[in-house]
Amino acid sequence: MEVAVFSSTRYERRYLDGANRNGAHKLHYFDVLLDTDTAGLAAGYGAVCIFVNDKADAEVLGALHRGGTRLLALRCTGFNNVDLAAAAGLGMKVVRVVTYSPNSVAEHAVALLLAINRKVHRAYNRTRDSNFSLDGLTGFDLCGKTVAVVGTGKIGCVFAKIMLGFGCRVIGFDPQPSAEFQALGLSYAKPGEIGEQADVISLHCPLTPATHHVINPQTLARAKRGAILINTSRGGLLDTEAAIDALKTGQLGGLGIDVYEQESNLFFRDLSSEIITDDVFQRLVSFPNVIVTGHQAYLTHEALTTICETTLESVSAFENNRTLENEVKIQ
């Protein structure tokens, strides 16, 4: 099957080519984002493969459908960038990667937490300048601290297990309790418990209308003063300007994010020779207790291998009229 792959990167192409080593599909790579201006590039392709920042709203889906596309394959877990109702109305199938390596994202969340708490990024910059002063680099023991896991799916559960290994008290928050989370001997937070007790809050929930800006001025005001917030899920979970205000007052003690609400204008590109005009982002990275990585939490060999193999397996299933095990449907 001929597949148009948008937002493709050099490293990703190697894994997709590896997953397609039998030559079952003809993969055509485009390094641009899918949106209204680029949808015409997919004309004549039966399947279109997209990533987290590609735009698949009703207008784009309509253009793809007119060009002959009948399958939209997401090489990611989240599908908040797809208008599922519009896809269903067009008879277009949508598939995703339900799970790849929850360890990759959970471990990156821990890396962000450790780096912020122990000021690793600041120490690194100092020692490169032969500055070995320890002033301002004091952190705290994670052992004995309370960690709140918001979203207790596969990734949240892996993160919880790691935090238990550090000797933390772990509590969860999720409208749909997880048996796996509870099997660890963990409980879900009571009303107000996260704000009162959590020293660390880590977000591992999908972005939906209900979770948009789940971290906002109100929730930040109720948080324990000096708490560290980690987000490796979706940028829209966090009201960035509210976080900036909380960082200014010290209400928020540190912030580690691998995602950003307006990341489609920034991430996955080399902008080192350009002026970043996003004032909110520029203010955010000016804080010494903030670390931003460019949506790389999933970026491990194991995760990339599974993502690409799963994506092409779904394309093969569609082409051969088999059941689409990873199909995304309107709830």
Confidence bin at 100 (pLDDT 50/70/90):
confident
| DSSP string computed for 159-205 | HHHHHHHTT-EEEEE-SS--HHHHHTT-EEPPTTHHHHH-SEEEE--
More confident residue, 101 or 221: 221
Mean pLDDT of the region 208-219: 95
Flag whether pLDDT at 297 surpasses 80: yes
Asked if 295 is an active-site residue, the reply is yes
pLDDT at 99: 85
pLDDT tens for 276-296 read 999 999 999 999 999 999 999
Q: Which of 12, 107, 261, 263 is catalytic?
A: 263
Q: Where are the domains of the chain?
A: 2-100+300-319, 102-292
Section 189-212 average pLDDT? 93
Average confidence score pLDDT of the chain = 96
The pLDDT, as a whole number, for residue 101 is: 86
Inform me whether the pLDDT recorded for 131 exceeds 80.
yes
Measured on CA atoms in the order 19, 24, 30, 34, is the torsion positive or negative? negative
Percent of the chain with pLDDT over 70: 100
Q: With 90 as the cut, is the pLDDT of residue 104 above it?
A: yes
Q: Specify whether domain 102-292 bears CATH 3.40.50.10490.
A: no
CA distance 86 to 69: 14
The pLDDT assigned to 307 comes to 96
pLDDT for 330: 82
pLDDT score for 192: 83
Residue 241 annotated as catalytic: no
State the average pLDDT over residues 184-190.
94
Pairing relationship of beta strands 169-173 and 71-74 according to DSSP bridges: unpaired
In whole angstroms, what is the distance from residue 110 CA to residue 213 CA?
22
Given the residues 25, 65, 204, 234, select the one marked as catalytic: 234
- Whether 227 and 201 have beta carbons less than 8 Å apart is answered as yes
Q: How far is CA 138 from CA 41, 116, 120, 134, 300, in A?
A: 52, 11, 10, 8, 30
- Cβ–Cβ < 8 Å for 95, 329: no
Residue 234 is among the residues annotated as catalytic for this protein = yes
pLDDT value of position 191: 79
Q: Region 132-146: what's the mean pLDDT? A: 97
Summarised one tens digit per residue, pLDDT across range 226-279 is 999 999 999 999 999 999 999 999 999 999 999 999 998 899 999 999 999 999
CATH of 2-100+300-319, one of 1.10.1270.20, 3.40.50.720, 3.40.50.620, 3.40.1010.10: 3.40.50.720
Query: What pLDDT is stored for residue 58 in this prediction?
Result: 97
The mean per-residue pLDDT over the stretch 159-165 comes to: 98
Q: Residue 232's CB: how many other CB atoms inside 10 A?
A: 27
- Give the pTM: 0.90
Q: Give the pLDDT score at 42.
A: 97
Q: How confident is the model at residue 190 (pLDDT cuts 50, 70, 90)?
A: confident
Distances (CA, A) of 265 to 50, 235, 271, 278, 283: 16, 13, 10, 9, 16
Half-sphere exposure of 253 (CA within 13 A, CB side): 18
